[in-house]
A and B are shown apart, each in its own frame.
Chain A
Amino acid sequence: MGELIVAIALVVLSILIYTQTDDLPSMNESQLDAGSFPQFVAILLGGLSLILAIKQIIVLVKARQQNSETSIKEQLLYIVKEHQLVFITLALLFLYILAIQILGFILSSIIFMIITALVIGPRTKKSIVTVSSIAVILTLSLYFFFQNVLQVRFPTGIFF
C-alpha cells in the first residue's frame, strides 16, 4: 500500500514539475532553455513511477484475491508502534530547528539533546546525569570551535 502511495506521489511530482516549467522564460526554438532539462527528467520520472504504480496495483489486487484478513486497523496500529520513536524524534527535531531561532543555539541544543536522549533511552538518575553532561560539553565545544576557529556565528536568540 505504502509503495503505491510513494509511486503515485512521484507521478504527481513529475506532473507538477512538468507544468511548472511552462512559466520559465525560454530563448528560441533551436536551443534548450531553463525548462528543457527538468522537463526531460520529469517525463522519465513520471513514466517510470507510473510503471511502478501499475505493478504495485497488480500485486495488491493479487494479494487481495488470496487473503486480506489482516485488518487495516491492525496494520495501522503496528505501524504506529513500530515507528513511535521515529515520529517523536522527527517532531523534536522540528521543534529544535524552530527553537534555535528563538532560544539561540546553545540553549536549544542542550535541551534538545537531553530530551531526545531521555525519550529514546532509560530515564534513570544516572542516565540523566551522563546525558546532561555530554549535552553541555558537546554544545559548548561546538559553539566555541565554530565561533573562534571558523568564524561562524550561530543564532543567539532572545536571551543573549
Chain B
Amino acid sequence: MFDLLFLGFGEILNLKILLVLFIGVVVGVIAGLIPGFTVAMAIVLTLPLTFGMEPVTGIAAMIGVFVGGMSGGLISAALLGIPGTPSSVATTFDAYPMAKKGQPGKALSIGIWASFLSSIVSLFILVTIAPQVSQFALKFGPWEMFALICLALTIIASVTGDSIIKGLIAGLFGLLISTVGADPIMGFARFTFDLDVLRAGIPFLVVLIGMFAISRLMQSLEKSQLEKDRLERLNEDASEMKFTLKPFQSLKKVISKPMTLIGSSVIGSIIGAIPGAGGSIANIVAYDQAKKWSKEPNKFGTGCEEGVVASEAGNNSTVGGDLIPTVALGIPGSAVTAVLLSALMVHGITPGPLLIVDEPNIVGGIFVAFFIASLAMLITQFAGMRVFVKITQVPTHILVPIILVLCVVGTFVLNNRTTDLYILLAMGIIGYLFTKYKYALAPAIIGVILGPIAELNLRRAFMTDPDWTLFLSRPISLTFLVLTVLSILFTIWQTINAKKKAQV
C-alpha cells in the first residue's frame, strides 16, 4: 500500500504536473460554481486538452477538475441558495440560512474544511480498500467479469432515474451504441447502415459530450428554465456580499464535530463506490443521516454547523469511493470516472484488475493526485474566494454558445474527423430526449464504456468453453448474477411499497 503512495509521490511531485493539477482544480471550482455547468461537463471538455500530455499528467489534470468541481458547488449553494451542481443540493439547506443570518464567511469556510477533511478520509478508504479488491478480482475469469458488469449495470439502473425499467433500457441502449463499428474480436464492421459516419464506430467521448454537455445546455434553454433562472438572478447578487473567511477558527469548529465529519465521509465513500450513485445522492443521504443521529435535529435547516459539515463531507468523499471500482476493477461508478478510464485507454493503458499490478505508478499517481488536488482545492478556495464569487453569474446566453463551441472543438480534436460532429449532434438530441422523458443518462454512458468489455469477456468465456452453465456453476459468477437479479427485484419491491404508502 505504501509503495503505491511512494511511487505516486515520485510521479506527481514535478513542477509541471503540480501546475497542471492546480489549474485543473481552479477550472473545476469554476465549473462547480456556475449553475448550469456541471462537473461532468467540465471533465469531458478537459479530456481533449490532455491528449498531448503524459498519462499521469493528464490524469492529474482531470482529478484536479473532479475534486475542485465537487467543492465548487458550495459557493453558489451557500451564497445564493442555488446548488451550483446537483451534488450540492443539501448544502443549500444549512449553508444558505447560515449565510443569510449574516455569517456567509463562516458557512463557506466550514464547507471548505469539511470538503477537504472528508476527501482525506475517503482517500484513506480508497488506498486501503482498492488494492484488496483488485487482489480479489485477479481471480476473475471472463465469466466473472461478464457477471460483474451485468451487476454493475443493473445497480446503476436501479439507483438512477425514474424507474428501473427505464434505467435498464438506458443501459442496454448504451450497450447497443458500443456495438456499432468493428467488433472487438474479429473486426467485422457492424450496424454501419452503409453510412460513412458510422464506419469507425461511435466514439465513447462523443457520446459523453453529446449526452452530458449538449443535452444539459438544451435543458437550460427551455422557456420555463430560463424564466426560473432569471428570477433567481434578480433575487440575489453574490458579488455584492461581504464576508470574511476565518480559516483557523472554522477548522476548529469542523474538527470539534468528528462524528459528523467521519460518519458523513464514510457514507459518501460507500455511496461513491456504488456504480451510478454519486455526489448528488451522497450529499442528501449524508445530510439526512447526520440529522437522524444528531441530538438536536430541530436545528438542521436553520443554519447549523453540522448540516454544512455533513452535506459537504458527503459529496466530496464520493470522489475517493468512486475511484475504488474504477481503479480496482476497471468499472467506473460515474460519468466522471468513465472519462478518467477512457483517458487511460487513449494512452494505451487497459483498465481492469491488473491495473495496480501492471501500472503501479499510474495508480499511485491517481492516489497522490487526489491528495494534492484536495490540498490545492483548500488553498484556492480560501485564497480565491473573492474572485470566484464574482463569476457565479455568467448569463445563460453567454455560457451556452461558449460551451457548444468547446463541445465541437473537443469532439473534433479526438479523431480529427468532421463526421464525428454529426454523431455529436445526434447524441445531444438523443440525450436531451432521454432527460426529457426521465431516462437516466448515467446507465447509458456506463453501458457505452462497459459494452466492449462485456462483449469481449462473454465471447472469451464461450471460446474457452462453450458450456454456458459455467456462468452459474462458478461460485463468484453465480453470486454476481444472483445479486443482479436481487437488485432488480429489490427495486421493484421498493417501488410497489412506495406506491402502496402513497395510496394509504
Q: Which residues of A contact B (CB under 8 A)?
A: 2-3, 6, 10, 13, 17, 20-21, 24-25, 27, 30-38, 41-42, 44-45, 48-49, 51-52, 81-86, 89-90, 93-94, 96-97, 100-101, 109, 112-114, 116-118, 120-122, 127, 130-131, 134-135, 138-139, 142, 146, 149-155
**Cβ of B421 < 8 Å from any Cβ of A?**
yes
Query: In whole angstroms, what is the CA distance A36 to B466 when docked?
Result: 13
Expressed in whole angstroms, the minimum distance between the Cβ of B399 and any Cβ of chain A is 9
Out of B173, B193, B226, B416, name the residue touching A85 (CB < 8 Å).
B226
Nearest chain-A residue to B223 (Cβ)?
A: A82
Partner of B168, one of A20, A34, A48: A48
The A-contacting residues of B in range 170-195, CB under 8 angstroms, are: 172-173, 175-176, 179, 183, 185-186, 188, 190-191, 193
Q: Does B408 contact A (CB under 8 A)?
A: yes
Which of B263-271, B291-299, B326-334, B429-437 is the contact stretch?
Answer: B429-437
Please name all residues of chain A whose beta carbon is closer than 8 Å to the beta carbon of B432 when the two chains form the complex.
Answer: 86
Q: B221-255 CB contact bits vs A (8 Å, 1 = yes)?
A: 11110100000000000000000000000000000
Q: What are the residues of chain A within 8 A of B51 when measuring CB–CB? A: 150
Chain A's closest residue to B176 (CB) is A41
B10 at the interface (CB under 8 A from A): no
A89 to B407, CA, bound (A): 14
In the complex, what distance in Å separates the CA atom of A127 from the CA atom of B396? 13
Select one of A33, A41, A89, A149 contacting B172, CB under 8 A. A41
**Is A152 touching B405 in the complex (CB atoms < 8 A)?**
no
Partner of A93, one of B193, B418, B425: B425
Majority DSSP secondary structure for residues of B touching A? helix
Complex: chain B residue closest to A110, CB-CB: B405
Report whether B418 and A85 are in contact in the complex, using a CB–CB cutoff of 8 Å: no
List 9 A-B pairs, Cβ < 8 Å: A13-B176, A31-B466, A34-B186, A34-B188, A52-B166, A100-B418, A117-B397, A117-B400, A139-B405
**Among the interface residues A10, A32, A127, which one has the most CB atoms of the partner chain B within 10 A?**
A32
Residues of B within 8 A of A94 (CB): 425
Residues of B within 8 A of A (CB): 49, 51-52, 165-166, 168-169, 172-173, 175-176, 179, 183, 185-186, 188, 190-191, 193, 214, 217-218, 221-224, 226, 395-398, 400-402, 404-406, 408-409, 412-413, 416, 418, 421-422, 424-425, 428-429, 432-433, 436-437, 454-455, 458-459, 462-463, 466
Closest to B179 in A: A38
Query: Closest B-chain residue to A28, C-beta based?
Result: B466
Contact between A30 and B221, CB atoms less than 8 A apart: no
Residue of A nearest to B191 (CB): A20
Out of A21, A38, A135, which one reaches B401, CB within 8 Å?
A135
Residues of B within 8 A of A20 (CB): 190-191, 193
Closest chain B CB from A144 CB (angstroms): 12
